[in-house]
């Protein structure tokens, strides 16, 4: 299944190849202050593939906080946050914000609260390697 998504102005776009046709997409609503303030509700599947297109890379802010092990891709023009990327052992992993999906039935998204407070950095990186999208490509100027 192909899922398209973008920030509000379209500067950051993505195509997510889910690699099957699920009845529902599980998503977690992180309770950290950044995600709460930016409407971050994240989904990923290790077997999925993601192509991120940055039309104007100069208008993409990479925001890292906490452990500094992930970059939130924030559109500097419209402020939306469609994706988060994390480089672990030379490989790029990602999650996408279901609130930025386009043409996707929101009733198919199963949202659940999530809290990562107290997670160690090593546990966080291991979780990302296990659960985040494992095939990520970023194309600039597209």
Q: Alpha-carbon Rg of the chain, whole angstroms? A: 14
What are 97-108's pLDDT values in tens digits?
Answer: 999 999 999 999
| Cα separation, 130 vs 14, whole angstroms | 21
| Cα separation, 130 vs 120, whole angstroms | 15
Topology of domain 2-140 in CATH is: 2.170.150
CB atoms inside a 10 Å sphere around CB 44 = 23
What are 39-90's pLDDT values in tens digits?
Answer: 999 999 999 999 999 999 999 999 998 889 999 999 999 999 999 999 999 9
What are 56-70's pLDDT values in tens digits?
Answer: 999 999 999 888 999
Query: In the chain, what are the domain boundaries?
Result: 2-140
Q: Is residue 40 exposed (0-12), middle (13-18) or buried (19+ Cβ within 10 Å)?
A: buried
């Amino acid at each position: 299944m192909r899922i398209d998504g973008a920030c509000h102005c379209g500067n950051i776009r993505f195509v997510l190849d889910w690699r099957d046709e699920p009845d529902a997409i599980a998503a977690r609503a992180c309770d950290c202050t950044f995600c709460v303030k930016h409407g971050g509700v994240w989904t990923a599947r290790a077997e999925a593939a993601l192509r991120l297109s940055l039309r104007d890379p100069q208008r993409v802010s990479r925001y890292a906080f906490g452990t500094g092990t992930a970059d939130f891709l924030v559109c500097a023009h419209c402020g939306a946050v469609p994706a988060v990327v994390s480089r672990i052992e030379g490989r790029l992993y990602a999650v996408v914000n279901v609130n930025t999906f386009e043409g996707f039935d929101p009733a198919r998204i199963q949202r659940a609260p999530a809290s990562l407070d107290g997670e160690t950095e090593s546990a966080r990186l291991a979780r990302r390697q296990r659960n985040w999208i494992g095939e990520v490509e970023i194309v600039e100027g597209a």
